[in-house]
């Protein structure tokens, strides 16, 4: 009786923790899914939303520029939503960021192209990207805090699950993009087939929000009696703030590899769709497997050395590109 009585609550706790982890990582997965899809279909967007009639590289540059604007507002989203999360809870912040991301993703999937509404199509697409960037900025920090607070001893491993989920979404986005280009002609893609992967993301967003509504608050946050305002963090520990800003550059290599390189391979190297997406699929698979391995190692050794080594290797690998 005692064994059965204690096993049941443990099973319930394990199920609740698994649901919370899944709800947490799904938002980050949606972010990377939409991020990569936009890059993979940037050539299509250049034709449908930014065509100037003059030809040349200008439409593609405008398309990639609208992709980049999302990164401009990410720091604002990180600051505002991060502060919100510190005041109202990890769960509350994640629900808000997931809802905003879903709205942005839905807008991208449903906006009429320039053949229907003219230049307003490109403007609405940029606004949608701004909303996604704002949500993504707050998503990463809030989700990382939620995962790291699951277990203080293995916080690196739990936080790395967000990267593994992102690797899954990268692989899925590349696969679905390949399916669209493989099964539909260019005319069919321009007619609306490009929207299919984005509509799938639109379905995933509400599901992630629903899971977060049912998830539990971080126990570590629940035990907190107060929070530190953002302005005090910036004023009080400038060294760590500068270091945190510097680590943003570590993700630039992955973004360039997964988002821009497939476009570069098609437009400059003239590779096939299959060939240009192959590297993205491989990158996604590695992103699933490697983060938990090295994060688990970091839980047992010095994280600083691992980060310096990873940054050095990433910089050297990016140089030929």
> How far apart, in Å, are the Cα atoms of 127 and each of 67, 72, 107?
11, 12, 9
pLDDT, average across residues 19-33: 80
Instruction: Tell me, letter by letter, the H, E, C secondary structure of the chain.
Output: CHHHHHHHHHHHHHHHHHHHHHHHHHHHHHHHHHHHHHHHCHHHHHHHCCCCCCCCCHHHHHHHHHHHHHHHHHHHHHHHHHHHHHHHCHHHHHHHHHHHHHHHHHHHHHCCCHHHHCCHHHHHHHHHHHHHHHHHHHHHHHHHHHHHCCCCCCHHHHHHHHHHHHHHHHHHHHHHHHHHHHHCCHHHHHHHHCHHHHHHHHHHHHHHHHHHHHCCCCHHHHCCCCCCCHHHHHHHCHHHHHHHHHHHHHHHHHHHHHHHHHHHHHHCCCCCHHHHHHHHHHHHHHHHHHHHHHHHHHHHCCHHHHHHHHHHHHHHHHCCC
pLDDT, average across residues 220-238: 62
pTM of the model: 0.77
> How far apart, in Å, are the Cα atoms of 194 and each of 235, 272, 273?
46, 17, 14
- The per-residue pLDDT for 112 is 93
pLDDT reading at 17 higher than 60 = yes
Give the residue carrying structure tokens 């995933």.
Answer: 204
- The per-residue pLDDT for 262 is 76
- The per-residue pLDDT for 199 is 92
The residue count for the chain: 321
- The per-residue pLDDT for 139 is 82
- The per-residue pLDDT for 57 is 66
CATH class (in words) of the domain with range 19-215+228-318: mainly alpha
Instruction: Give the percent of the chain with pLDDT over 70.
Output: 80
Predicted confidence (pLDDT) per residue in 278-297, tens digit: 777 887 888 888 888 888 88
Say which residue, 152 or 105, is predicted with more confidence: 105
Which range is least confidently modeled, 67-71, 113-117, 210-214?
67-71
Say which residue, 252 or 266, is predicted with more confidence: 266
Say which residue, 4 or 206, is predicted with more confidence: 206
- Please give the structure tokens belonging to residue 255: 């973004």
pLDDT reading at 181 higher than 80 = yes
């Amino acid at each position: 009786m005692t064994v059965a009585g204690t096993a049941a609550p443990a099973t319930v706790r394990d199920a609740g923790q698994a649901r919370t982890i899944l709800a947490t990582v799904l938002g980050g997965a949606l972010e990377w899914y939409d991020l990569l899809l936009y890059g993979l279909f940037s050539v299509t967007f250049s034709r449908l939303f930014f065509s100037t009639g003059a030809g040349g590289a200008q439409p593609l540059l405008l398309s990639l520029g609208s992709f980049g604007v999302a990164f401009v507002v990410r720091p604002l989203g990180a600051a505002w939503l991060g502060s919100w999360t510190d005041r109202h809870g990890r769960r509350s912040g994640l629900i808000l960021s997931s809802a905003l991301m879903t709205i942005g993703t839905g807008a991208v999937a449903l906006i009429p192209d320039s053949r229907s509404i003219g230049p307003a199509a490109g403007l609405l697409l940029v606004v949608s990207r701004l909303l996604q960037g704002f949500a993504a900025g707050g998503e990463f920090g809030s989700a990382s805090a939620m995962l790291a607070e699951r277990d203080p001893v293995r916080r690196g491993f739990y936080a790395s699950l967000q990267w593994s989920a992102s690797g899954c979404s990268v692989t899925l986005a590349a696969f679905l993009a390949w399916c669209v280009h493989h099964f539909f002609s260019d005319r069919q893609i321009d007619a609306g087939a490009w929207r299919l992967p984005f509509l799938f993301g639109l379905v995933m967003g509400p599901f992630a929000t629903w899971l977060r509504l049912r998830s539990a608050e971080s126990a570590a946050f629940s035990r907190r009696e107060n929070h530190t305002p953002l302005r005090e963090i910036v004023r009080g520990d400038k060294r760590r703030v500068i270091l945190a800003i510097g680590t943003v550059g570590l993700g630039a290599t992955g973004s360039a590899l997964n988002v821009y390189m497939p476009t570069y391979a098609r437009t400059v190297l003239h590779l096939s769709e299959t060939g240009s997406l192959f590297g993205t699929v491989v990158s996604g698979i590695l992103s699933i497997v490697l983060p938990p391995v090295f994060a688990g190692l970091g839980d047992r050794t010095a994280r600083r050395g691992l980060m310096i080594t990873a940054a050095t290797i990433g910089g050297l690998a990016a140089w030929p590109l």
